[in-house]
Structure formats: C-alpha cells, structure tokens
Amino acid sequence: MTPEWAIDMTVVDSSSVSHTDINGDGVSDAIVNGNVPSSSGSNGKVYALEGRSGQVIWESSEEINGITVPLIRDLDHDGIPDVVFGGRGLPDSNRPLVALDGKDGSTIWRVLEQTPDWQNVYTPQDLGDVDGDGVEDILVATGGDHVRDNQLQPTVPGRVMVVSGRSGAILGQKPVPDRQEIYSSPVLLPDGSRDALIGTGGEVFSGGLWRIPLGSLLREAPTSDDSLMIRGNGSSFIAPPVINNDVDTNETHLLALRLDGRLFSMTVGPRAATRTNWSSDVIDWIQKLGYPGRTVAALTVPALGQFDDDEALEVVVQVALIAPAQLAAGYYGDSCNVVVVLDGRTGDVQWVLDGGPAASSISPLVLSRPDGMAVLCACVASRTDGGDAEYALWYPALDRVELLAIGAQGASTPSLVNTPDGDVDLLVAMSSLTPSQSPGQGRSKVARIRLGKGAAIWSGYMNLRSDQ
C-alpha cells in the first residue's frame, strides 16, 4: 500500500502510536516516540506529526524511552490536548514520567527522583481530580527492574502511584500486595469506585491480578480491601486487562489474559458480587498446530469485535510461541505468532490464524470493512529475509488473509483513525520490507496509510483514544 505520507523515524520499540487533533484542523495528528535521522540524543523524544502531511508540529526537548501509549488530556485547560508519557526507568532514566504541553511540546512537569528508584512507568490513566485543584490526576504503575538479572528474585516490588496532574507531585503510592514486579499498565474500573486493577509478575516469577481501592493508594497503606481477583498459578499478568461495559445490563465485564495463554472472563461488581463467567486455555488449540518444544507467551492486549451474529462481542488474542528458555530470558526474537478469535459468551475458540515464524509483540486491532469484520495484526512471517513480522488484514469468517506489505517496527502497536469520508486510516511505525535505494532514506518510518472504506472498532493499544 502507498502511504499518504511517510517520514524517516525509528520509534522506541516499546512505545506505540497514538493520535489526537493537536493543531485544531479537524484531522487527527500522530503522537510518536522515537528518533529522526538528525536526532543527537541517546534516548527517544516525543513528536507531534501533522495529520495531513506528516510534518513535525513539535519535538519535545525532553528525552524518554516511552512504553505503550501516553495519556492525552488538556491539563492546563488551554483547549489543546497535552501529552503525559511514561517510559523506561533506570538505567535509562530516573524520572520516567513527563507531561508535555500540546501547544509546542514544552515541559509542563517531569516527576522527581524517588526512593526507591523509579522503574518502568506504563500507560498513565486519568483518575479524575482527587486533590481538588481543578486538574485531573493520574494513576500509574512503576515496576520492572532492568538492572537486576531477570533470574534473580525482585528486591523492589512494583508500585501503584497517584500523581498530581498539575505538578507531577506524588499524591500517594503503595507496593502491590504480593510485592512482585510489574510489567503491566493499571486499569480503572468505570463504576465510580476508582478501584484499580493491576497485573503482577513477569516472565520468571508468578504474580496475579489485583484489585486495589483508591483509598489505600492515597493512604499509602495496605488494606483488607485489596483483593486478589485471579491467581497466577505459576504464571503472571503482563498484558493489561480489558474492560467492557454492557449497556443493556449495565454490567462491567473484565477480560484478563494470563502470560501462559489462559483467558478469563469476569463480571465485575462489588467484591462479593464479582463472578467468573468462563476461562479458556488457548494453548490447547495451539498445540494442535504442531510447534513442539514451545510454550505460549501472551504479551499483547486482547481486542473486542462483533464477528458473529450473537449479542456478545468476540475476543481476539495474539500470542507468541517460544522456547521456555527464551521466555525466561525475555527474548522474543525467535518466536511464532498465532491469532485466535474466541466466542465472547463461552470462551470457545472460533477461528485460528497460524502466522508462522513472525516475531511480534504488537497488539491486534479490529475494524469493519465492506467484506466483513477484519483483524489487523503484525502476525505473518515476512516475505523477505529482514526478520520483521508483516502486517495483514485477517477476515476470520471468510478464511482470508490480505497481506499489506508493511513490516513491523519493534513492539509498536499502530492506531486506526476514522476519517470524515468513511474511510479508515492506519498510523503506523513501519519497517520497509525492501531496503530503500535512496541515499539517506532508511527502512524505519512512521506513515499514514489509507486502508479504504470501513470503521475502526478496536482502534489502538488498550483501545485508548484522545476522547476517552
């Protein structure tokens, strides 16, 4: 596919593409974290790229190696959305959370050093104004020690923190109840309770999925209200859970994907009323594909979409098949990818796409097309020797795969954008499948690509959008 525009940029491989209308022209602009060829710093910067042309609107002076996507909110109430980005902690940075002014990319605030040190900071969440100063405050999780050998027991537990949206000051924090490491973004329940869900554990050490009330965060103390929702049973929760509100029943549904490939569906209410609807182990199906000596690593966020004719939304999960020793080492370069669509009512597997040896930790997205519902995934083995996974549109009900000739960049999940004329555009960090012959032109780019008629259903990492 021919991009509407493309610029040379290497994104930070743990960051994903997001979008919002920064310049007020009615077209979504791309927010990306990376380096252009002229960059001189060792870490990435944040760029706002004009949606029509790809030209740089602004470049941050702050450097950060971002993780997943930023929170986009108007913190200074000037009518322009601002950008709050979390990133990698030590050894990359000891201040890995920054708020940038959407007008020009200047720094609103950056968090101060902490004791114990900051670790990775994952996707920030809007907590509302908890300190009464008129600015929305922010929920973050910090964890994951890249200094420690990953075979050694964590010595600093992951922490959940409340940060002032006005100043970046810490309003409250506490270690997770099991004192394990964290590699997951927090998720807020939308029931007004402001309870936070957080997954713990990593590739080596087991964890769980916890429910933590806001009050215990602000008091910086454990309480009997902290509750373990799902046990790790030797595994962990790295992918953040997905929340879906049923407008007909006014119930909140939770989908949580454990690292070992077991997917849990729960209806979430007051603690005594929370119930498990089903759990499904995708590894039982994947083993039939014939990958001996490999185990499942479920790192990506599930997506939702209506793929059949019942009322329940189907669940799309993408998992890597990897040798156990490589999983323990956190190395995913020699993995195979499988995408599975499960029935939302029962957890039964409905469709499976075997992508082959395509190393990718990019979360799947969902869109409707004139031919039917499609999954956008970086899930197919590249047709070149470059080693990149290739993007594809998979139509499960039609048993059809449309290759897009777009290579993936790192673990950077793209964004789908609905256009006013009924098309869907793809904002993507891409790697060209063929080396460029033009002097000074690299293979790594950020591009806007028109996919054609349709509508974005699950549009980005954690389905986060600037209007949420």
Per-residue model confidence as pLDDT tens digits over 67-82 = 989 999 999 999 999 9
User: Which one is predicted more confidently, 284 or 463?
Assistant: 463
Q: Output the pTM of the full model.
A: 0.93
Q: Is the pLDDT of residue 131 over 90?
A: yes
Q: CB-hemisphere CA count at 13 Å for 108? A: 27
Long-range contacts of 97-100 (CB under 8 A, 24+ apart): 97/121, 97/124, 97/140, 97/163, 97/168, 98/60, 98/62, 98/64, 99/75, 99/165, 99/168, 100/46, 100/60, 100/62
Output the pLDDT for position 447: 95
Question: What mean pLDDT is predicted for residues 323-344?
Answer: 82
Both structure tokens of 14: 């743990």
Q: CB-hemisphere CA count at 13 Å for 71? A: 26
Q: Is the pLDDT of residue 271 over 70?
A: no
Confidence class for position 305, pLDDT limits 50, 70, 90: very high
Opening angle at CA 163, ends 161 and 164, nearest 5 = 160
